[in-house]
Structure 1
């Protein structure tokens, strides 16, 4: 009789422990947020512009001449007369797609070389990152600079994407 009572106590304790663990775990699994999954549906149309106007500021004249010498005539032509590489190019994709996909589409259309690593654009139109200590390509979507790589930023219909070359922190404010 004593052994039967111990077995019952252990069984009740085991059931209580199982409930204590299982109930919160079940609640957590049932209430956690599911990531939104975008499904390709319809055509997405975005506008892409690319500029390196900071390089054309008077205070950067010496650097601009060095870049022009390195790029040669063909490379110089890619940068435009004032640093406007591409202005308001419309890209259409069938659902899905990222900012990097849109950039690659524009680059293919205009014959611009692009080098990207894991969604980060290291070189565009012959301008590599790190011409200066803080130099590199940045992009904004609808006027907001992104904090993720271009390969991770999904496109939405009507997005306005602007790629800009920065030589130093704050110089994009000088070249609207």
Structure 2
């Protein structure tokens, strides 16, 4: 009986020891806090799990890495949103409306002075471009408008550039000095002749440009 009693006691002690060992490595406590002690406490789904030091350390490191990745992604997302906001808030550049007309009607009154080979380029009514309205950037020049119209209507524009500015040689194959030695292109803005080269005169919204070919002094009215 004594031997049997000893065996039972030994088995009981072993069972208690095994239960304590299991409890040491996997005790669950419901909590929202995160603490680490010698046994290695970590949080899993709102519960604290007691594990050995190596397992706890690895899990905590994984959580730190995950949090760092999430913070980085959030920062990148915020930067993208800020950049998009800046682009959207950038104001559009102001545009203005300018009307322009081009004609060579004076040549019709001086056909005897017209050089050979140019008669086919002269419109019957003398109008090369009837009045059109174009949109250009604010503070554009007369030349800017003419170049814009040239791109749309293919006016075969010929320009001479020098230290004094730009000079319009020809429009639609009608060139300077083809109808007298003083003949050439002149422009007016709102029926006034600015006396500036076309590349320096700045326009305002609603301005009206007229390009006209002159054959003789004072023939443009």
TM-score of the alignment, normalized to the shorter chain, above 0.5:
yes
Distance 1:67 1:51, change over 3 A: farther
Per-residue deviation, 1:65: 7.1
Alignment partner for residue 108 of structure 1, among 125, 148, 151?
Answer: 151
Alignment partner for residue 45 of structure 1, among 73, 82, 97?
Answer: 97
Per-residue deviation, 1:63: 3.5
Report the Cα distance in structure 1 between the residues aligned to 2:93 and 2:195, rounded to whole angstroms.
26
Report the Cα distance in structure 1 between the residues aligned to 2:126 and 2:114, rounded to whole angstroms.
10
Alignment correspondent of 2:219: 171
Higher relative contact order (CA 8 A, sep 6+): 1
Contact kept? 2:118, 2:174, Cα under 8 Å = no
Per-residue deviation, 1:108: 1.8
Alignment partner for residue 84 of structure 1, among 127, 139, 147?
Answer: 127
Q: Greater helix percent: which structure?
A: 1
Contact kept? 2:96, 2:137, Cα under 8 Å = yes
Alignment correspondent of 2:139: 96
Per-residue CA shift, 1:116-140, capped at 9, x if unaligned?
A: 1232111111111122121110000
Output aligned runs, 1:5-16, within 5 Å. Answer: none
Per-residue deviation, 1:94: 2.4
Q: Secondary structure at the match of 1:50?
A: strand
Larger of the two Rg values belongs to structure: 2
Report the Cα distance in structure 2 between the residues aligned to 1:90 and 1:170, rounded to whole angstroms.
28
Q: Secondary structure at the match of 1:146?
A: coil
Report the Cα distance in structure 1 between the residues aligned to 2:167 and 2:137, rounded to whole angstroms.
23
Per-residue CA shift, 1:131-152, capped at 9, x if unaligned?
A: 2121110000011012110000
Contact kept? 1:56, 1:64, Cα under 8 Å = no
Q: Which runs of 5+ in 1 are unaligned?
A: 1-39
Report the Cα distance in structure 2 between the residues aligned to 1:67 and 1:160, rounded to whole angstroms.
32
Structure 1 residue 61 corresponds to structure 2 residue 111: yes
Contact kept? 2:98, 2:205, Cα under 8 Å = yes
Report the Cα distance in structure 2 between the residues aligned to 1:155 and 1:102, rounded to whole angstroms.
9
Query: Number of paired residues?
Result: 125
Which deviates more, 90-99 or 156-165?
90-99
Contact kept? 2:101, 2:132, Cα under 8 Å = yes
Question: What is the CA RMSD across the aligned residues, in angstroms?
Answer: 1.9
Distance 1:64 1:102, change over 3 A: same
Q: Which runs of 5+ in 2 are unaligned?
A: 1-91
